[in-house]
């Protein structure tokens, strides 16, 4: 006869679930409201989502306070793991989402934002990402990942253009493949170590001295492939430009930030012990991933004729750049990853939002695609302020000081320098120089070419509402005055990363 299981509620530490449950509750509330009274204006749902995200944010503040006092908190049968990485990633996720959601308030009626389901799915997705980063249990990571991904596929498809369905289907099939890889990799590690928790896997593997190195490598290969899909590392990136193109501009910006930080955190947890285990093969493969992703994506970005596709490739390149932090694996590198991503969030969301407010419902004759370079020609003459803001985001993406991303770049390159990756540091620097060219190309179009006949400044701000302008203003201020915030941010991030043992 089985003994009854006694578990005290206190040992469950239910509060660890609070930040994830808040958006879930919010999503359910939105669905209920829609059932009770349909046809409400989207602004209600936008504000509701914002409110729940704000509550989420405050619960994270609480959790981080507990973390700074008591250290890492475990909960729910030790499945939940609230450490510095989890908190930092959740902060980025929630803040990026808060910046994203008001972009639904455009002047034009865009299809997806008229559904309340959009906002419910959005909140579910955030909860999924939050689960994904706040655990080191491979099963919960998988559940979180799939919750978020399935919601995301639907959000893309809701954009309701020909290319969106293509994008959603492409993303879905690729994502399913990645999920398969992930579960297979997890299975291999379970078979090897009898555990699905990353820290236990690490312990067991270290204890037996990586005896089954062949199986470990098989497992690592599958995991690596799964992460490479999510992080759009070359050669697993093929979905990314098409999916970015098919989804709405802010959604594309959002996709280049939030899903990736979640995947980066999991990758950091997973590869941390492997990188330090001295498996030479893994170092070489990661090194190759990093360099190829940075360089090749840059090359492709050079030849794009559409700004949005250019930004898509540039996001891939940035992901490769940041992946270097995981290869290096020191505290400084891991902190640099978060610093970079915070700064990248402001800049990239800002630049995609600029595309969003210049989105038209139908294309004029002279324009090849939604955001072709030609459209931006001579923008300084027809719409000087938006042109300067867009130029600012481009300069920041290119890493021109003192704008935001420069600080992320030097800290990351510095972490490569301090841990002896000199060649990598040089390659990173040279890649920044290549990237300079395509960001410059947009600046050249905006500032130095003559406007295309018939274009009035109005098209660049056609969608702008006060909410949109505010978001872009926040992004621009964040980009210009980043240097004020770097020191507190760096100290905060380093303390959190260091105290989590990374």
* Interacting residue ranges for other proteins, rule: CB under 8 A: 395, 400-402, 406-407, 410-411, 413-414, 417-418, 422, 425-426, 429-430, 432-433, 436-437, 440, 443-444, 447-449, 483, 486-487, 490-491, 494
Instruction: Pick between residue 176 and residue 489 the one whose CB is nearest to other proteins.
Output: 489
Instruction: Pick between residue 43 and residue 419 the one whose CB is nearest to other proteins.
Output: 419
Q: Smallest gap, in angstroms, from Cβ of residue 422 to other proteins?
A: 8
| Overall residue count recorded for the chain in this entry | 502
Contacts with 97 (C-beta within 8 Å, 6 or more apart), sequence order:
53, 122, 126, 254, 258
For 398-430, the three-class secondary structure string (H helix, E strand, C coil) is HCCCCCHHHHHHHHHHHHHHHCCCHHHHHHHHH
Q: Smallest gap, in angstroms, from Cβ of residue 259 to other proteins?
A: 29
The owner of tokens 């990485």 is 85
Q: Smallest gap, in angstroms, from Cβ of residue 484 to other proteins?
A: 9
Instruction: Pick between residue 32 and residue 430 the one whose CB is nearest to other proteins.
Output: 430
**Residue 420 falls in which region: left (phi positive, over 0), alpha (psi -120 to 50) or beta:** left
Phi, psi of 137 (to 5 degrees): -95, 120
Contacts with 172 (C-beta within 8 Å, 6 or more apart), sequence order:
153
Instruction: Pick between residue 281 and residue 437 the one whose CB is nearest to other proteins.
Output: 437
The owner of tokens 């596709």 is 309
Instruction: Pick between residue 243 and residue 413 the one whose CB is nearest to other proteins.
Output: 413
Instruction: Pick between residue 188 and residue 336 the one whose CB is nearest to other proteins.
Output: 336
Instruction: Pick between residue 470 and residue 487 the one whose CB is nearest to other proteins.
Output: 487
- Distance, CA of 403 to CA of 414 (rounded, Å): 17
Q: Smallest gap, in angstroms, from Cβ of residue 480 to other proteins?
A: 12
Q: Smallest gap, in angstroms, from Cβ of residue 383 to other proteins?
A: 15
Q: Smallest gap, in angstroms, from Cβ of residue 264 to other proteins?
A: 22
CB neighbour class for 422 (10 Å; exposed up to 12, middle 13-18, buried from 19): exposed
CA dihedral 125, 404, 266, 122 (to 10 degrees): 0
Q: Smallest gap, in angstroms, from Cβ of residue 399 to other proteins?
A: 8
Can you tell me whether residue 372 is helix, strand or coil? strand
- Distance, CA of 315 to CA of 9 (rounded, Å): 44
- Distance, CA of 304 to CA of 297 (rounded, Å): 11
- Identify the bridge partners of residue 75 per DSSP, sorted by sequence position: 80
- Distance, CA of 450 to CA of 190 (rounded, Å): 62
Q: Smallest gap, in angstroms, from Cβ of residue 149 to other proteins?
A: 36
Instruction: Pick between residue 22 and residue 395 the one whose CB is nearest to other proteins.
Output: 395
Instruction: Pick between residue 182 and residue 438 the one whose CB is nearest to other proteins.
Output: 438
- Distance, CA of 375 to CA of 306 (rounded, Å): 9
- Asked if residue 377 lies in contact with residue 452, where contact means CB atoms within 8 angstroms, the answer is yes
CB neighbour class for 214 (10 Å; exposed up to 12, middle 13-18, buried from 19): exposed
Q: Smallest gap, in angstroms, from Cβ of residue 357 to other proteins?
A: 22
Q: Smallest gap, in angstroms, from Cβ of residue 108 to other proteins?
A: 30
Contacts with 65 (C-beta within 8 Å, 6 or more apart), sequence order:
none
Contacts with 87 (C-beta within 8 Å, 6 or more apart), sequence order:
60, 63, 64, 67, 496
Instruction: Pick between residue 18 and residue 388 the one whose CB is nearest to other proteins.
Output: 388
- Identify the bridge partners of residue 306 per DSSP, sorted by sequence position: 372
Instruction: Pick between residue 49 and residue 432 the one whose CB is nearest to other proteins.
Output: 432
Q: Smallest gap, in angstroms, from Cβ of residue 437 to other proteins?
A: 6
Strands, E assignment, 78-190: 80-82
- Distance, CA of 455 to CA of 446 (rounded, Å): 13
Q: How far is CA 94 from CA 13, 22, 123, 351, 492, in A?
A: 22, 12, 10, 19, 17
Q: Smallest gap, in angstroms, from Cβ of residue 426 to other proteins?
A: 6
Instruction: Pick between residue 208 and residue 487 the one whose CB is nearest to other proteins.
Output: 487
Instruction: Pick between residue 40 and residue 426 the one whose CB is nearest to other proteins.
Output: 426
Q: Smallest gap, in angstroms, from Cβ of residue 418 to other proteins?
A: 5
Contacts with 490 (C-beta within 8 Å, 6 or more apart), sequence order:
335, 339, 411
């Amino acid at each position: 006869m089985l003994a009854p299981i006694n578990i005290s509620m206190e040992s469950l530490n239910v509060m660890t679930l609070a930040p994830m449950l808040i958006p879930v509750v919010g999503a359910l509330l939105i669905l209920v409201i829609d059932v009770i009274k349909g046809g409400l204006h989207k602004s209600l749902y936008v504000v509701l989502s914002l409110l729940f995200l704000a509550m989420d944010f405050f619960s994270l503040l609480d959790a981080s306070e507990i973390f700074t006092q008591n250290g890492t908190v475990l909960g729910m049968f030790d499945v939940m793991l609230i450490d510095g990485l989890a908190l930092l990633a959740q902060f980025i996720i929630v803040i990026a989402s808060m910046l994203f959601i008001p972009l639904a308030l455009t002047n034009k009626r865009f299809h997806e934002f008229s559904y309340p389901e959009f906002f419910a799915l959005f909140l579910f997705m955030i909860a999924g990402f939050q689960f994904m980063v706040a655990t080191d249990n491979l099963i919960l990571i998988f559940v979180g990942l799939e919750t978020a991904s399935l919601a995301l596929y639907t959000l893309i498809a809701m954009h309701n253009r020909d290319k969106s369905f293509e994008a959603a289907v492409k993303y879905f099939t690729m994502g399913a493949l990645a999920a398969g890889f992930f579960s297979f990799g997890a299975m291999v590690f379970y078979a090897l170590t009898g555990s699905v928790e990353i820290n236990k896997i690490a312990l067991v593997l270290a204890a037996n001295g990586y005896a089954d190195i062949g199986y470990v490598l098989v497992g690592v290969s599958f995991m690596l492939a799964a992460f490479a899909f999510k992080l759009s590392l070359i050669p697993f990136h093929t979905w990314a430009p098409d999916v970015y193109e098919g989804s709405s501009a802010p959604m594309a910006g959002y996709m280049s930030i939030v899903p990736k930080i979640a995947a980066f955190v999991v990758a950091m947890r997973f590869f941390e012990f492997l990188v330090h285990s001295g498996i030479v093969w893994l170092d070489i493969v990661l090194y190759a991933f990093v360099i190829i992703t940075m360089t090749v994506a840059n090359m492709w970005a050079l030849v794009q004729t559409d700004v949005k596709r250019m930004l898509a490739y540039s996001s891939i390149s940035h992901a490769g750049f940041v992946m270097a932090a995981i290869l290096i694996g020191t505290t400084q590198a891991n902190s640099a990853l978060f610093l970079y991503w915070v700064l990248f969030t402001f800049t990239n969301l800002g630049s995609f939002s600029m595309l969003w407010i210049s989105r038209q419902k139908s294309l004029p004759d002279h324009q090849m695609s939604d955001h072709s370079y030609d459209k931006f020609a001579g923008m300084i003459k027809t719409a000087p302020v938006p042109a300067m803001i867009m130029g600012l985001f481009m300069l920041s993406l290119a890493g021109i000081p003192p704008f935001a991303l420069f600080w992320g770049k030097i800290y990351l390159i510095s972490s490569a320098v301090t841990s002896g990756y000199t060649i990598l540091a040089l390659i990173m620097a040279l890649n920044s120089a290549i990237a300079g060219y395509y960001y410059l190309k947009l600046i050249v179009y905006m500032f130095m070419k003559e406007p295309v006949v018939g274009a009035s400044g109005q098209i660049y701000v056609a969608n702008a509402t006060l909410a949109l302008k505010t978001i872009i203003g926040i992004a621009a201020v964040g980009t210009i005055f980043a240097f004020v915030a770097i020191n507190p941010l760096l100290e905060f991030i380093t303390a959190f990363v260091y105290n989590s043992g990374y």
